[in-house]
């Protein structure tokens, strides 16, 4: 349950939400995207209210979420999965334009376009999910635990892709258990605990904050073994 969450996501760049299990991180994303309805309060996108709208209406207004569980259609090809991200688009030429633009940033999509999505590695599937979300040409991308269940190499692949999207001017709200890696690619950080926002600030500052380091990053930032 969320308790008076006050959260601002600046346009462009990555805002990262960290905190312990049960802190309400994923609930924030689900409420923004319309999967959950807020009992009170407001959710604004560019000053316009979107709180309480259906998922489809939130998507139409420019907010897309990539869930933490794998969400590709495994028996469909990589390219077919990509096109599903723009299912609201009816113009074939526009659909192809968007697919070409997204594929330019994700060469994997062309390399494996005819393969079944289920044959991709976990990291490759997550990249395909993120690319599919971009097909909606969203104003904001919500990423829920994108590194969950991935091996270290795949995690680096995914975090590198998120950092590249940030550099290209995308607006990203990232929820991530791998707090240190997430803060390293983020511009701003939010620490949640007990359904509330406990701390906010520049990501680099939170990385160096002893309170954050001790609770969520596995030790103080300058901690060294005893001589």
Model confidence band, residue 218 (pLDDT cutoffs 50, 70, 90): low
Provide CB contacts within 8 A for 211, sequence distance 6+: 199
Residue owning tokens 């904001």: 140
Provide CB contacts within 8 A for 7, sequence distance 6+: 17, 28, 190, 197, 200
3-state helix, strand, coil in the chain (%, to 5): 40, 15, 40
Instruction: Look at strands 171-175 and 140-144 and give their pairing.
Output: parallel
pTM for the model: 0.90
Q: How distant, in Å, are the alpha carbons of 3, 37, 102 from that of 42?
A: 13, 11, 32
The whole-number pLDDT of residue 181 equals 92
Q: Looking at the predicted structure, is the pLDDT value of residue 197 above 50?
A: yes
DSSP 208: T
Q: Which domains does the chain have, with CATH numbers?
A: 13-216 (3.40.50.300)
What the block records as the tokens of 119 is: 């044959």
Helix (H) or strand (E) segment spanning residue 39: none
Instruction: Look at strands 63-66 and 48-49 and give their pairing.
Output: unpaired
What the block records as the tokens of 77 is: 């090809």
Q: Looking at the predicted structure, is the pLDDT value of residue 224 above 70?
A: no
Half-sphere exposure of 133 (CA within 13 A, CB side): 27
Specify the 3-state DSSP secondary structure of 130.
Answer: helix
Average pLDDT for 178-207: 93
Helix (H) or strand (E) segment spanning residue 202: strand 196-202
What the block records as the tokens of 168 is: 């290209």
Averaged confidence pLDDT in the chain: 91
CB 82 within 8 A of CB 135: yes
Model confidence band, residue 227 (pLDDT cutoffs 50, 70, 90): very low
pLDDT tens digits, one per residue of 35-78: 999 989 999 999 999 999 999 999 999 999 999 988 999 999 99
Higher pLDDT, 218 or 28: 28
Q: Looking at the predicted structure, is the pLDDT value of residue 93 above 50?
A: yes
């Amino acid at each position: 349950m969320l308790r008076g969450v006050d959260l601002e996501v600046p346009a462009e760049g990555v805002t990262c939400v960290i905190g312990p299990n049960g802190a309400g991180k994923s609930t924030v994303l689900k409420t923004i995207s319309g999967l959950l309805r807020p009992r009170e309060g407001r959710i604004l996108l560019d000053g316009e209210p979107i709180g309480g709208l259906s998922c489809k209406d939130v998507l139409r207004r420019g907010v897309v979420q990539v869930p933490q569980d794998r969400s590709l259609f495994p028996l469909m090809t990589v390219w077919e999965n990509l096109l599903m991200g723009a299912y609201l688009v009816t113009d074939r030429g526009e659909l192809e334009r968007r697919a070409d633009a997204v594929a330019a940033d994700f060469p994997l999509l062309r390399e494996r376009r005819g393969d079944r999505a289920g044959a991709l590695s976990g990291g490759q599937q997550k990249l395909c999910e993120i690319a599919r979300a971009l097909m909606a040409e969203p104003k904001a991308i919500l990423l829920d635990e994108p590194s969950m269940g991935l091996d270290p190499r795949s995690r680096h692949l995914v975090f590198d892709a998120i950092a590249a999207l940030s550099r290209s001017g995308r607006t990203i709200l990232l929820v991530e258990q791998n707090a240190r890696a997430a803060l390293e690619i983020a511009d701003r950080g939010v620490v949640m605990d007990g359904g509330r926002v406990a701390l906010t600030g520049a990501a680099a500052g939170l990385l160096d904050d002893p309170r954050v380091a001790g609770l969520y990053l596995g030790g103080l930032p300058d901690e060294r073994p005893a001589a």
